[in-house]
Structure 1
Amino acid sequence: MNELKYALDTFYFLVSGALVMWMAAGFAMLEAGLVRSKNTTEILAKNVALFAIACTMYLLFGYAIMYGSTEGGWLPNFGALLGAEHTADAVNQGKADHSLYSDFFFQVVFVATAMSIVSGAVAERMKLVAFLIFCVVLTGFIYPVEGYWKWGSGFLHTMGFQDFAGSGVVHMAGAAAALAGVILLGPRKGKYDAKGNAKGIPGANLPLATLGTFILWLGWFGFNGGSQLLISDVDNANAVAKIFVNTNAAAAGGVIAVFIYTKLVFRKADLTLILNGALAGLVAITAEPLTPSPWAATLIGAVGGVIATLSVGMLDKFKIDDPVGAISVHGTVGVFGCLVVPLTNNGENVNFVNQIIGVVTIFAWVFITSFIVWFVLKKVMGIRVTEEEEYIGLDKVDCGLEAYPEFATVSSSNGGS
């Protein structure tokens, strides 16, 4: 019986991890749709490369830091790579719930998600090589350290900080790294006028952005549902089902709230804001998708969607240029998601003080360390392309290949075409 439970929970972990891995495609499509056509190939190359680097760095260093360190501590250890797999005897004795390798696979796709958040925020003006070097540091060290503090049973976990699937550990962390980079990078040329007012720079392919949003919505069931870790008994199966329902409800709430908001305020249904409303709803519920009722989850998602919309405008006032709204969706709403947890979760040590401490600690660590890395890269090799390269587009500069090659009209000898 134990071996059957082990096999079922391992399979569920792997399938959930595959769903989260599919979110990489969602981020790629969303970002490719929201940037200008001249930068599409570069951002797709960036998303493929960052996923590969994240997986490799987490295998070499990240997993050992995050899950091989002392319980209740703040200073991580630097352990070895993945150890030997669980034996049948260990499983039958109840010492293992699922495969060690399935656990690694599920965790590695989370670190790639955090890095994908950075990709969209720095789009259209960052050097590709500088971005990928930063990816090495974030996925191999910065993210695993704060991940250890919570999910590796470090001091935030023992204190009582609650973050079920990563509103803070993953989403806010990715946004903090992105914010540090954007501050040093500066806005895109033409984004703000002489008076500092933001000017719209439309994305090249809104159908692609919409597809990316639906892919992320689907992947989020693995993101939140898989974080229950088990499914092989009645209580865990029921919990997973409720998590799925609440995750979906929050996304729907975010869409509806932003649709209504944009119609009332702008008299137009702004698709890009509506898409971000869905993602904001998902981020908001990620910190605690189990304890709310479905109606409460819908409300949490709705509030998250409106917060993200307001945050986009607020950041523009400070000339924080984020082409895809990633800092608002994942950062501002990630904070909200963590802080709203005590409203539905009355577990031991779950309170607003501990949630605030957790949010401040994670944000400060990721922002400060990321700022240092970005600053060093800026001084050593530069992080921004030249004004001419930005005008030409990064597809030609970095990739030598356009995503949307123009049609050429060739005239025949008799004047036809």
Structure 2
Amino acid sequence: MVKKSLIALGALLVLFPTMAFAEDPSAATLNMGLNALWIMVAGVLVLLMQGGFILLETGSTRMKNAGHVAGKTIFTVGLCSLIYWAVGYGLSFGTEASEGLNKFIGIGNFLFDPSISAGDGENYPSTIFFVFQLAFAAVSLSIAWGGFAERAKLSSYFIYTILFSSVVYPVIAHWIWGGGWLAADGSQDYAGSTVVHLTGAMGALAATILLKPRIGKYNKDGSANQIAGHNQVFSALSVLLLWVGWFGFNAGSALSVGDGFFGYVAFNTQLGAAGGAVAAMLISWMFSGKADIPTTLNGALAGLVAITASCAYVEPWAAVVIGLIAGVLVYFSAKFFEKIRVDDPISAMSVHGAAGVWGTLANGIFATEELAGKVGVGKAGLLYGSGGEQLWVQFESVVVCGAYAFAASFVLLWIMKKVMGFRVTEEQEIIGLDLSEHGSYGYPEHLKKTGTSSM
């Protein structure tokens, strides 16, 4: 114990030199410093997942839209940050609402103006918690962009970012994480299978329904054409970046170093992702005769999405099962959406929607009494003696949150469509959003100007 304390103190003195001059750093101060460091690192990992989303959407779509994908991602993360600071964080975690109103929405902390350091008795500074939660909101927003891909106006990204970051995401975050009514019911969503992933997927679903399919996706007889992405290497690299970032996503949600429980969460996260990748490749191989690479990549992401809700509540064998089922589910879900003419270029509805629903429901089956008690939320699942009580709470969560995210997004996007237009013209879509919205290609060497010669 003494050895561990000395090692921790040494690390803090290196990372926070000013502490060397403190006369008597308390155990509480050391604990707060370690917590703050871990949450900050986790928040950075989650923010870096935006690089994964850039590569995922770019690799899964056509080259003529590559620069647009990259640029709008950076732009919308910036805008989301401002809106979340001004409004979204207060609606998610504000504490000034009356007891009755607080069940549905938070009030307070608008234009968030935090103290410069942690106060007495706090486990971490509020500034770091804000950065961590902001990164989650930005991820949910980037998931929604899957339904906009290759056919939405740049102005629609601008308006929907404002609305999503202030009207859609914060409400659901408050219900489950901010002390709202689903939190009171014991809804178990450790790191956001519902709050982050299902919410983003429902935004994507609303968008792709209103935008309608891309030109050339479907034939007159209803059969689908494959519109292949232009770079599978980008897509594979994106999955690796997202996979690594997910350790910040899930393990960071422990919000403390404590007894090292975040390591158990990370352990289950890896098992869930592995199960998803393996199952997706095998199922695609079995049904199509080929081990499809995009399906395998989606399987890994589906496993990660599914284990996100349950990583702190289940035993390792259950994490594997959850990942395996997610990998199978994502394959058939993608086929289903294509059949009903929902054009989803990056499979957002399958990877984040279907897998998000499954991951949330899985807690109602596999959560153990010991782990539910340790986290302090909800009860054990069906296999551990609670009957169907926790499963019902989980079902309630996905239905209510999914319905709200879809309905709110659909109404807001429908109004946008009527007022300002939503989709680019046919000509703009054909030449690509790089040229039509930005005036240059994402790969500039492919643009040959009249009167110039190539080198």
Does TM-score exceed 0.5, indicating one fold?
yes
Contact 1:396/1:402 (8 A) holds in 2: yes
Equivalences for residues 270-285 of structure 1 within 5 A: 270-285=292-307
> Which of residues 245, 263, 278 is equivalent to 2:285?
263
Shift, 1:406, TM fit: 2.3
Runs of 4+ in 1 over 6 A off after TM superposition: 407-410
Counterparts in 2 of 1:194 and 1:155: CA distance versus 1, 3 Å: same
Shift, 1:274, TM fit: 0.7
1:355 lines up with 2:377 in the alignment: no
User: What number of residue pairs does the alignment pair up?
Assistant: 406
> Which of residues 111, 135, 160 is equivalent to 1:81?
111
Contact 1:311/1:332 (8 A) holds in 2: yes
Shift, 1:155, TM fit: 0.6
**Which position in structure 2 is the counterpart of 1:253?**
275
Contact 1:64/1:78 (8 A) holds in 2: yes
Contact 1:39/1:124 (8 A) holds in 2: yes
Listed one character per residue, the Cα deviations across residues 198-221 of structure 1 (whole Å, up to 9, x for unaligned) are 111111111111111100000000
Contact 1:86/1:96 (8 A) holds in 2: no
- State the secondary structure of the residue aligned to 2:401: helix
In 2, distance between residues paired with 1:330 and 1:183?
17
**Which position in structure 1 is the counterpart of 2:125?**
99
In 2, distance between residues paired with 1:87 and 1:402?
45
Listed one character per residue, the Cα deviations across residues 330-354 of structure 1 (whole Å, up to 9, x for unaligned) are 0111011110102222444461111
**Which position in structure 2 is the counterpart of 1:330?**
352
In 2, distance between residues paired with 1:3 and 1:180?
47
**Which position in structure 2 is the counterpart of 1:289?**
311
In 2, distance between residues paired with 1:111 and 1:321?
24
In 2, distance between residues paired with 1:376 and 1:385?
16
Contact 2:91/2:107 (8 A) holds in 1: yes
Shift, 1:409, TM fit: 13
**Which position in structure 2 is the counterpart of 1:388?**
427
Shift, 1:195, TM fit: 1.5
Shift, 1:280, TM fit: 0.1
In 1, distance between residues paired with 2:239 and 2:45?
14
> Which of residues 17, 39, 50 is equivalent to 2:43?
17
In 1, distance between residues paired with 2:284 and 2:347?
16
Contact 2:85/2:110 (8 A) holds in 1: no
Contact 1:283/1:334 (8 A) holds in 2: yes
> Which of residues 162, 174, 177 is equivalent to 2:200?
174
**Which position in structure 1 is the counterpart of 2:15?**
none
Contact 1:159/1:349 (8 A) holds in 2: no
1:367 lines up with 2:402 in the alignment: no
Contact 1:61/1:141 (8 A) holds in 2: no
Contact 1:120/1:326 (8 A) holds in 2: yes
- State the secondary structure of the residue aligned to 2:227: coil
In 1, distance between residues paired with 2:131 and 2:243?
20
In 1, distance between residues paired with 2:251 and 2:106?
28
Counterparts in 2 of 1:66 and 1:361: CA distance versus 1, 3 Å: same
> Normalised by the size of structure 2, how large is the TM-score?
0.86
In 2, distance between residues paired with 1:151 and 1:339?
17
**Which position in structure 2 is the counterpart of 1:402?**
441
Shift, 1:292, TM fit: 2.1
**Which position in structure 1 is the counterpart of 2:60?**
34
- State the secondary structure of the residue aligned to 1:340: helix
Listed one character per residue, the Cα deviations across residues 233-287 of structure 1 (whole Å, up to 9, x for unaligned) are 32xx1x2111111111111111110111111111111111110000000000000
> Normalised by the size of structure 1, how large is the TM-score?
0.93
Letter in 1 for 2:402: F
The farther-off stretch of 96-105 and 117-126 is 117-126
- Structure 1: stretches of 5+ with no match in the other structure: 411-416
Listed one character per residue, the Cα deviations across residues 335-394 of structure 1 (whole Å, up to 9, x for unaligned) are 111101022224444611111111111111111111111001100111001111111111
Contact 2:59/2:234 (8 A) holds in 1: yes
In 1, distance between residues paired with 2:196 and 2:246?
13
The farther-off stretch of 330-339 and 191-200 is 191-200
1:152 lines up with 2:181 in the alignment: no
**Which position in structure 2 is the counterpart of 1:222?**
248
Contact 1:46/1:119 (8 A) holds in 2: no
Equivalences for residues 106-117 of structure 1 within 5 A: 106-117=132-143
In 2, distance between residues paired with 1:295 and 1:206?
31
Listed one character per residue, the Cα deviations across residues 27-69 of structure 1 (whole Å, up to 9, x for unaligned) are 0011111110011111111111111111111111111111114
In 2, distance between residues paired with 1:273 and 1:87?
46
Contact 1:282/1:301 (8 A) holds in 2: yes
Asked which structure has the greater RCO (Cα within 8 Å, sep 6+), the reply is 1
Letter in 2 for 1:406: H
Contact 2:208/2:343 (8 A) holds in 1: yes
- State the secondary structure of the residue aligned to 2:446: coil
In 2, distance between residues paired with 1:407 and 1:42?
15
Counterparts in 2 of 1:328 and 1:87: CA distance versus 1, 3 Å: closer
**Which position in structure 2 is the counterpart of 1:208?**
234
- State the secondary structure of the residue aligned to 1:291: coil
- Structure 2: stretches of 5+ with no match in the other structure: 1-26, 373-377, 381-389
In 2, distance between residues paired with 1:137 and 1:408?
39
In 1, distance between residues paired with 2:40 and 2:83?
20
In 2, distance between residues paired with 1:365 and 1:120?
19
Letter in 1 for 2:227: I
Shift, 1:86, TM fit: 7.2
Letter in 2 for 1:100: S
**Which position in structure 2 is the counterpart of 1:313?**
335
Shift, 1:395, TM fit: 0.6
